[in-house]
Amino acid sequence: MSFLYPSFLFGLLAVSVPVAIHLFNFRRTRRVFFTNVALLKTVQTETKSFRRLKHYLILLFRSLFVICLVLAFAQPFLPSKSKLGLSRKGLTSLYLDNSYSMQNELNEKRYLDIATSKLDQLLGLFRNATSLQLVTNDFSSQEQTVGTADALRDRVTTVRFAHTPRTLPDVYRRQLNLLASHNPTGPNQLFWFSDFQKSTTGDLSRLKIDTTNRLFLVPLETQPTKNVFVDSVWLSTPFIRELQNNTLNVRVRNSGDESVRNLPIKLFIDQTQVSTASVTLPGKGAATATLNFNVTQKGFRRGRITFEDYPITFDNEYYFVIQASPSIRVLHLFDQKSEANYVENVYGNDSLFVRRSFNAQNVDVGQLKTADLVVLEGVNQVNGTLRSELERFVRQGGSLVIIPPTTPDAATWSPFFAGLGVGGLQTQAPPLPPQQPLSAPNRQNPFFRDIFEQTNQQGIENLPNAVPVWQWRVVGERLLTLRNGTPYLTQSRTGGSTAGQVYIFASPLNTEYGNVAQHALFVPIMYKIAAQSVRPQRTAYSFDDNTIEVPVSNASPNAVYKLMRDKLEIIPVQRVNGQQLLMELPKSNQLNDGQQLASGYYELQLNGKTEKLLAFNHGNRESQMEFYKPDELRRIFANQPNVAVFDSIQDDDFVEELRQQNLGTNLWKYFVIAALAFLLAEVAVIRFMKG
């Protein structure tokens, strides 16, 4: 038998009090004998013996009462059978997983409610402890302090679902910080109440628990269930236009084992339902819904995908933003323009384009920062600041079209081509060869997908002719070629996935160099080049992204952008890189009290003016319905004897089993009962033993 508070054993000295009282009351009395009263002497002897027995019994019961009462305060217990055990006097840190996956249900009870009730029962084992800590996914400031069991019970009732999932290594580091500041030498114990979702727990195989600490894993008895969530949303075209049919693709995924049939998917634009579709999803499967819609106004439009799926509901909505009819900004730089001004006419006859034309030798290179597409036509020299800014423009995602001058200089153009990742430039010296017809374009090439009408015709009749004035080594795709195999129009991307496109024509647009500009192919090709110059719209962002990139225009390096949503104002860590704003979103523990990052629409503001509308959603890691089973957890921590795993939290005797196996059997109750019994026995002796 062991004692939780052995210092109370000094109270056994109180046994001397009833002993002293006994010695005082039992002092020898004077005896008086009468003659011829033998019978009375016999009665007196019997009465004296009886009274002595009574006093001894009173002394015994009083002493036992004091002894049992002292032992009860010392809280004796039988040590646990487990070598792991618990320390009632150490620091106890309790982690309650309040992530969105805890919305799942078992027997019509949410996982969070089940874990909360069991944690409340567990606090009963530590009712006299003063060094208790409650940790949740909020990582709030009040979790840095320790308190009593009653204080933690009050906090448990206020726990709500948190939008930021935490890996268990992060949770352990959080708890270690508290242990180091309050009880660095141990022994301490940690409890983790969680569903142990595989997608959010992190790498448990590398998690090493300090041997001075004891870790108890309390997994919930998870059941396979269905859960549908939006995997991705994208537009069929790089941009959308008002009053025209547009297509939105929504890929939804079922992370559960149970199939879902004919699930309605609804599309809302500016709070109005504009389209619907249904999908059937097998277990662990995915499907894509195609939704057609149109918008009646330009500018940013608020989109929302919604469906009904229970019991996991936090991912039943997906927010996104689309920009209707964004203007395509075309910058036309020239030295030698074609006689019919083909480029200006192509991009000047549609309100979709905002075209500006400048002589290449007199242009302000700052114009490049506000352009999506730059067309170089007949420029004799590209060097100095213009060359470096054009290279920067392409690296930052801009598109560049190069139409050669009539007599290009290889020495001038070769360095510029090399800076764009194009080499092997060779110019054609006069006299020029005769015009040659172009080969039919490859209709399977995605570039031509929406240029030609859907037809079974294998060839294109009346193809134009051209005379190339230079040749180069093709590093991308050949969009158009001459019949002799010489490239006429190529498309290449250099500098990584974020770089823009470079389109190179082999000849000028003047009629003496061919009739490409007069052919029916020319306008749709130039339109397609312009359409692809628009950066694909990022319809939504995730709170799980460490850093997000937002395209901005004319941004000052010292500009301070804010994210606004209702009364929430966030100034994220940020920096401007060219035309890109890089922002680091704060985590929940970095927000002020009462602030929360919720899914929805946020205004990106600069100096009080809304620059863009952004949509944010929570990541889909918590939508993955795969969980660690107790046996899997035991295998992971098999080499760490200070880690214990329970089979199920749902058992009614969970806390009792924990107490017996790890805290031993408490005996203080029995000693209290015994003390009361001895007290009653003393009262009975005094009352009923007359003598």
Same domain? For 515 and 468 the reply is yes
Domain holding 413, by residue range, is 328-533
425 and 413 Cβ atoms separated by less than 8 Å: yes
Same domain? For 42 and 140 the reply is no
Name the strand (E) or helix (H) holding 96.
strand 92-96
Q: What is the pTM of this model?
A: 0.69
Residue 135: predicted pLDDT: 92
The structure tokens listed for 599 are 């899914």
Residue 497: predicted pLDDT: 53
The structure tokens listed for 663 are 């805290």
Same domain? For 639 and 678 the reply is no
Same domain? For 107 and 64 the reply is no
Same domain? For 367 and 480 the reply is yes
- For the chain, which ranges sit under pLDDT 70? 25-47, 79-90, 183-186, 224, 452-461, 495-498, 588-590, 593-594, 648-654, 656-664, 690-691
Q: Say if 505 falls within a structural domain.
A: yes
Same domain? For 60 and 126 the reply is no
Q: What is the DSSP letter of 548?
A: E
Residue 28: predicted pLDDT: 52
Residue 36 CB neighbours (<10 A): 6
Same domain? For 474 and 516 the reply is yes
Q: Which residue's structure tokens are 């040590």?
A: 79
The structure tokens listed for 320 are 């996104």
Same domain? For 586 and 647 the reply is no
E strands in 185-285: 188-194, 213-219, 228-235, 246-254, 260-269, 272-281
State which of 511, 533, 555 marks the end of a domain: 533
The structure tokens listed for 574 are 């940020």
Task: Please enumerate, as own/partner, the contacts of 610-613 that have beta carbons within 8 Å and a separation of 24 or more.
Answer: 610/564, 611/552, 611/561, 612/300, 612/550, 612/552, 613/300, 613/302, 613/321
What's the CA dihedral at 460, 466, 469, 475 to 10 degrees? Answer: 0
Q: Say if 161 falls within a structural domain.
A: yes
Residue 458: predicted pLDDT: 43
Measured between alpha carbons, how far is 61 from 63 in angstroms, rounded to an integer? 5
Residue 86: predicted pLDDT: 61
Same domain? For 466 and 571 the reply is no
Q: What is the CATH number of the domain that holds 165?
A: 3.40.50.410
> How far is C-alpha 324 from the chain's CA centre?
29
Residue 312: predicted pLDDT: 85
DSSP-assigned states of every residue in 120-146: HHHHGGGTT-S-EEEE-TT--GGGGS-
Domains: count for the chain: 4
Q: Say if 316 falls within a structural domain.
A: no
Measured between alpha carbons, how far is 666 from 142 in angstroms, rounded to an integer? 32
Q: What is the CATH number of the domain that holds 517?
A: 3.40.50.880
The structure tokens listed for 101 are 């996956």
Same domain? For 421 and 461 the reply is yes
Instruction: Report the helix count and the strand count for the chain, using DSSP H and E.
Output: 12, 36
Q: Say if 256 falls within a structural domain.
A: no
Q: Say if 260 falls within a structural domain.
A: no
Same domain? For 648 and 600 the reply is no
Q: Say if 561 falls within a structural domain.
A: yes
Same domain? For 116 and 142 the reply is yes
Q: Is 525 helix (H, G, I), strand (E, B) or coil?
A: helix
Angle at Cα 106 formed by Cα 100 and Cα 108, nearest 5°?
A: 95
